[in-house]
Structure 1
Amino acid sequence: MDSKLIEALFTAYPLDTIPMDVLMVIGFVCFLKLPKEKRGNIHFYLPFIILSFTFLYENFGSYTNYNYEFKKSVNEYLGNYKYPRFNLWLFNVAKRQIGTILYLLLIKSWLEPSKKKYINWMIILFIVVTMTLQLSGIEPLYLNQPIIFAMGANLILIGSAMYFTGMITHPQYLDKNPLRLISFWQMTFVMFTFTLTYVSSVALLYLYEVNPVLGEAIQKIDIIMKIINLGILTLTIASPFLPRVFEEEPFYISHETSA
């Protein structure tokens, strides 16, 4: 294998790639060891899908940094001649669009059935607005998309608030210790991830042009929160093997039949 490719995939950003690769391996092994009925449960296969999808697009992003000609050709195809070294088109689609939808589905999986319809409408609204902004040229695919990210982040924060509202009002949750519910930790870190990375994602280009050092420092927050979030997803997949740590979720049965 080309040494430059190895560097791009593994050693160029060790704080980012190494923990993510380790979590992917752990998550994959734990998912394979789950009983068949649990592998078919949305609470386990959806976190595994998000973990795997993040692993794939992050590594593909590293590959585009290795294959500059490929990245340049995609940018030129999209009409981006000013910033040929950017791979924002990849992260706009994978992280800020598909990723937002996946996390909304994750939130939906933890809500009581009567509230799931609100997430469905959020997803439809997000897709319509995203396509409108891109096709109209207001937020091109190859540049930073602050409106799309801000909308997605706010929808996720609203969905998280719905979860926490249910936790403090629904009788089934009141009988549980939230610190022993994997859903509590999952929703908490999803909320913190999208809150703490809000500024860096919306003002990414501005930060790098005005103060590159500050921009890089703030981006590290995004990396750290991503790794923590992936760790919680991995822990979710492994939670059936930790019965002394986590309690059974109140809505497992209802979600299995109505998610």
Structure 2
Amino acid sequence: MSAAPIAPVKPKFIYLPVVGRGEQIHLLLAEHGMEVDFVLPAGFGGEYVWADQAAHGTLPSFETIEEDKMILSDSSSIIAYILEKTPSGPANPKDMKSRVLSRDYWSFIQDYYNHFLSPMHDTIMNHAEAHWRQGRNTDPRASPTHALNKDYLAELKTYHTQRMNRLEKKLAAAKTEFCAGSEFTYADLFIYTSVNTVLKCKGFGPFRESFGEAGPFEGCPTLLALVEKVGKREKVAALAGKFDQAPV
């Protein structure tokens, strides 16, 4: 009687069941055909306590399978690892110019994520302990819907509009099919996930409504065309429904 086959060891990807910063990694893994064990943290259906087990005490976290296993806790490091392990993958930049431009666009969206999407996420979830909320809370006994003053929300709206207008201007001036040139890259995935978070996630409903019929990406046709193009990719489209289901 032959022994049962041993299942291959896979990298572990630990993240929350939301479409936040880790969604670009989900999509990159799918595009590059790289299998991982997706681990849910404690409080979300799993047992992983990220405050104790994650190297930085935050998520995402990614555990590699090399003999000298690495534990990565930064999105850019996780992406770099995936690209190194799957050099022929479709989202890997093909030349020096696209590598540099991909990094440039990715960093721009990372900044947008840090200063708009993350604060908006914590506003929606009423995470009053977040550092950018200090000094902006109203009476702590107030209801969650009044946890922030209107000035703060107005500042976030202004920041979003400024950053997306700048991205639109840069994309329109480049006149390329994708952000870093004629070929699709991982930077396009981060643009796609960030824009769709604002356009589709339920928690952003009041934010979208605050712009009226024009919506939060008025005057950004090049940006929206890029997002639509990325969304038509077979493996991206297969996971697109997650945005509609997630609150944030």
TM norm structure 1:
0.33
TM norm structure 2:
0.34
Structure number having the greater strand percentage: 2
Kindly indicate whether structure 1 or structure 2 has the higher relative contact order, using CA contacts under 8 Å at least 6 residues apart: 1
